[in-house]
Chains A and B, each alone.
Chain A
């Protein structure tokens, strides 16, 4: 009786340890995958920015990289906060589309600023179902900037969920902006959509 119980306990313990180890390995694999992904994506971005292609071609190349590596919809959804659920499905769709354009504009507008950029990849830290990868970005005539990339697994592919530069998060800052705008415009999602459309028209016109 006693030996059976001991055996059971041993088996349970072994299974427990096995699960722990598997989990540990998975976390580590996720961390090194995320690091490899950031290194790869960063190298692609740096190549485009420092490359000799004309400005318009660079924009197109950057757009391709962003579309492949950034989870735009998730960031857009986060940036709308509690208003995401208030929005109608059509509004959600239109908002995500506009947000995508705004994000692309804000990234491609900085091509010139980032000429001569270099980066090093540091360690990774698990963070709320995702992995934060530390990088240091060095530009000529600027102090080095600490940038964290939040990477999560979306449908088997690693995607960028957030970029945190010197402690300031892209999606959190965007949310503060949009939520405050909505609060001052009668909680009306359509007002935000119109404002974004107008902003894009100004930027592209």
Chain B
């Protein structure tokens, strides 16, 4: 935490410098289509965002990408999977809180059972055993919770380190850290070091998993910034809709099961594994 505080003046300087880049020019009121485009893009601070986008690209090229490539080169895939599973398992408490706040009992149950099974039978979360016994993984965060509560996303933001986001997801990110029991557990240098190791490993793990996609986009897109902006928005909207539509019933196994809603027409007969 102290490291962050020491860096605050630096971040402030960067913010002010970025601000001088100014705001995106609003098209004239007469040009209806251009105006509609401007509203749809919803990126009034585009020049500032592009400034931070370039800074992040530089940071990525020098630090994060080489780290992720080195990680992929040195650590074999099964071990990387294990590390990913451990990191994912550590997010379970935050995941569970959000499942509950979103009013998704089945998801909360999945998360609870996954944490229980994977922490024990999965040896500290290394193996995702729960997936194979009927508790599938899902991902969510407080940004999605806010969206389900009806909070609008606000304009697009591209921030140092955080990358593409919006005010709702910035709030979600902050609350996510506060919600996390591991933020508050324990004291001393070892705990602090472990905490930062976890953040660092999460960043490298996430970057490694997207090495090929990001390469592909920066190589093929004419305007990678606009492409990332669009992809981020669409992906978040997709996650929100997926969560909203997940209304699986919570019925104990011994209780008469409800009829499945509108069975897929392509696959007649009972679903396998039920």
Which A residues form the contact surface with B (CB < 8 A)?
Answer: 28, 31-32, 35, 39, 81-82, 102, 105-106, 109, 113, 121-124, 141, 143, 146, 166-169, 172-173, 176-181, 183-184, 192, 195-196, 199
For residue B220, CB closer than 8 A to chain A, the reply is yes
Minimum C-beta distance from B164 to chain A (A): 12
Q: Which of B219-238 contact A (CB under 8 A)?
A: 220-223, 225-227, 229-231, 234-235, 237-238
Q: Is A179 touching B37 in the complex (CB atoms < 8 A)?
A: yes
- Give the docked Cα–Cα distance between A107 and B116 (Å): 41
The listed residue (A32, A141, A146) touching B265 by CB distance below 8 A is A32
Q: Which residue of A lies closest to B139 (CB)?
A: A143
**29 CB < 8 A contacts A-B:** A28-B265, A81-B37, A102-B220, A106-B216, A113-B212, A122-B266, A123-B262, A123-B264, A123-B266, A141-B77, A143-B137, A166-B238, A167-B237, A167-B239, A168-B234, A168-B238, A172-B230, A172-B234, A173-B231, A177-B222, A177-B223, A177-B226, A177-B230, A181-B222, A181-B226, A192-B222, A195-B222, A199-B220, A199-B222
Are B235 and A176 closer than 8 Å at their CB atoms?
no
Shortest CB–CB separation between residue A125 and chain B, in angstroms? Answer: 10
Report whether A184 and B266 are in contact in the complex, using a CB–CB cutoff of 8 Å. no
A196 closest partner in B (C-beta): B222
> Contacts of A123 on B, CB cut-off 8 Å?
262, 264-266
- The majority secondary structure among interface residues of chain B is helix
Contact between chains at B226 and A176 (CB < 8 Å)? yes
Contact B222 A124 (CB under 8 A): no
Is there contact, CB below 8 Å, between B37 and A82? yes
Tell me which residues across on chain A come within 8 A of B222, comparing CB atoms: 177-178, 181, 192, 195-196, 199
Residues of B within 8 A of A106 (CB): 216, 220
A31 to B212 CA separation, bound complex (whole angstroms): 35
CB-defined contacts of B267 to chain A, threshold 8 Å? 122
B2 within 8 A of A: no
Interface size class of B (residues with CB under 8 A): 20 to 34
Please name all residues of chain B whose beta carbon is closer than 8 Å to the beta carbon of A176 when the two chains form the complex.
41, 226-227, 229-230
Q: In whole Å, how far is B26's beta carbon from the nearest beta carbon of chain A?
A: 12
B242 CB-CB contact with A under 8 Å: yes
Proximity bits, B138-170, A CB within 8 Å = 1, else 0:
000000000000000000000000000000000
How many inter-chain contacts with C-beta < 8 Å in the A-B complex?
80
- Does any Cβ of A come within 8 Å of B241's Cβ? yes
B33 in contact (CB, < 8 A):
yes
Q: Do A180 and B223 touch (CB < 8 A)?
A: yes
B56 is an interface residue with CB less than 8 A from chain A: no
**Could you tell me if A167 and B226 are in contact, using CB atoms closer than 8 angstroms?**
no
Contact assessment for B235 and A168 in the assembled complex, using a CB-CB cutoff below 8 Å: yes
A86 to chain B, nearest CB (A): 10
Closest to A38 in B: B266
Contacts of A167 in B (CB 8 A): 234-235, 237-239, 241-242
- The chain A residue sitting closest to B230, CB to CB, is A176
> Any chain A CB within 8 A of the CB of B97?
no
User: Which residues of A are found within 8 Å of B266, using beta-carbon distances?
Assistant: 32, 35, 39, 121-124
CB-contact partner of B223 in A32, A102, A181, under 8 A: A181
Q: Which of B33, B223, B234 contacts A184 (CB 8 A)?
A: B223
**Residue B81 at the chain A interface, CB threshold 8 Å:** yes
Residues of B within 8 A of A81 (CB): 37
Query: In the complex the two chains form, is A35's CB within 8 Å of B265's CB?
Result: yes
Q: Are A82 and B227 in contact (CB under 8 A)?
A: no
Interface membership of chain B positions 102-135, coded 1 if the CB is closer than 8 angstroms to chain A and 0 otherwise = 0000000000000000000000000000000000
- Closest chain B residue, CB of each to CB of A109: B216
User: Cβ of B234 and Cβ of A173 under 8 Å apart?
Assistant: yes
A173 contacts B227, C-beta separation under 8 Å: yes
Residue of A nearest to B266 (CB): A35
Q: How far is the CA of A198 from the CA of B162 in the complex (A)?
A: 33
